[in-house]
Amino acid sequence: MKLNDHNHIYYQNGQLQMEGVAVSELAKQYGTPLYLYSSSVIADNFNAYKNAAKSIPTMVCYAIKANSNLAILQALAKLGAGFDIVSGGELQRVLQAGGDASKVVFSGVGKTADEMALALEAGVHCFNVESDAELSLLSRVASQRGDTARISLRVNPDVDPKTHPYISTGLRDNKFGITFEQAPAVYQRAAGLPGIEIVGVDCHIGSQLTELAPFNDAVDRLLELIAELKAQGISLEHIDMGGGLGINYSGSEAPPTKSSYLAALESKLANTGLSLILEPGRSIVGDAGVLVTQVQYLKPTAHKNFAIVDAAMNDNIRPALYQAEQRIVSVTETSDAPVQTWDLVGPVCESADFIGKDRPLALTAGDYLAQLDAGAYCFGMASNYNTRARAAEVLIAGDDHWLVRERETFADLIRGEHLLP
């Protein structure tokens, strides 16, 4: 069985392996639920972007909202990655992990004055400004500090990414960016503001895109805007196409390769003199991770078979929030149990608490299961709902592995809370 497009997650002698380590051994050592990440897959994915850039200077800025574990950021920084951040806390994570602030782009619709000051002090590469009001505040903050903020405007090109509505970000109904029609006037105003240096244009149309057409439409619109700005005397240094390239969650999806994506962008940007910024997140870490869970109880009924596992919607909310389907496989390839169709549900008191429905699996209580493609937007969106501790995280490299986040304790959960006197 081919589990993904890499050779680092596979079965050997009937046991699921990540790189050189048996998943079952890690589950026994660290307990479940448990997140495991392959450093080799992360490196392969990042280098695929980096090496695909042939003719245009390109900065690959990992979108750390996909997975912000410090060890993953550290590994990417060592590979030469830049970073796309959406908060001051994410900037602090980058710096703590040894990332280069001069390779950081600061996105997000709600930047505060304190976050702007923190980013200016650190010396970030660029602010992706998402509203006229934000532009005014950034000008004031930079001017008061005696700094100059390098900016691009995030322009909403009104391109349909044909993805889930919750992860569509480039339509006029979305909260992100400045409308295409308003952009020229906002650029003109920015050109006259103190503390502001215009360097680029930015867009991000959505996430989990599995075809190139929406990206092509978006860059065509941005090139129209760039030509209009140039005619008005505003020249840009870079174009930032954001992220959004999808991964093969179902096993049958065929998203564009990173090389085909870069080739399409470079053909459109040839002879423009613009450098390129990309902000991939999911397509770097998504297929590098698995969520390991253990079957607690089997509860067959006349209508539905339920397998109650110890991972819940607080560990991975994607199935409940996005109706996401991630493949779930047995950690041990063979079983004496018959294959039956199961809903894999967790212990949280919500009917939406499931990690997979209608899955054909051979199960017995105590079995370990692995939810694939769990490296992006899974742990990062985890919570402590029902006073549940967040899972441990382990990073694997060859035969080595490291605990890169400890499982939370009850003391961690109530830290900062106080009883009444």
Helix (H) or strand (E) holding 191: helix 183-191
Helix (H) or strand (E) holding 295: strand 289-300
256 is in an annotated binding site: no
161 is in an annotated binding site: no
280 is in an annotated binding site: yes
> Residues 61, 126, 203, 349: which is the catalytic one?
349
- Residue 256, preceding bond cis, omega within 30 degrees? no
377 is in an annotated binding site: yes
Which strands form 21-22's sheet, in the order they lie side by side?
9-12, 15-18, 21-22
Given CA atoms 261, 266, 267, 268 in this order, what sign does their dihedral have? positive
* Secondary structure letter of residue 395 according to DSSP: E
Close Cβ partners of 246 (under 8 Å, ≥ 6 residues apart): 163, 207, 208, 209, 210, 253, 255, 282, 283
Strand partners, 295: 309
* Secondary structure letter of residue 204 according to DSSP: -
19 is in an annotated binding site: no
Please list, residue by residue across 150-184, b when 16 or more beta carbons sit within 10 angstroms of its beta carbon and e when fewer do.
Answer: bbbbbbbbbbebebeeebbbbbeebebbbebeebb
Asked if 56 and 274 count as a contact pair (C-beta separation under 8 A), the reply is yes
Q: Is 8 helix (H, G, I), strand (E, B) or coil?
A: coil
Asked about 349 being catalytic, the answer comes back as yes
145 is in an annotated binding site: no
CA distance 175 to 178: 9
What six digits make up the tokens of 118?
């923190």
10 is in an annotated binding site: no
CA distance 312 to 269: 45
Q: Is 300 helix (H, G, I), strand (E, B) or coil?
A: strand
33, 286, 419 from 311: Cα distances, Å? 5, 18, 30
281 is in an annotated binding site: yes
Close Cβ partners of 364 (under 8 Å, ≥ 6 residues apart): 295, 298, 335, 336, 337
CA distance 281 to 83: 10
Residue 237 burial (10 A CB sphere; 0-12, 13-18, 19+): middle
279 is in an annotated binding site: yes
Q: Which residues are catalytic?
A: 349
Residues comprising the binding site?
244, 279-282, 318, 322, 350, 377
Residues comprising the binding site for pyridoxal 5'-phosphate?
244, 279-282, 377
Residues comprising the binding site for substrate?
282, 318, 322, 350, 377
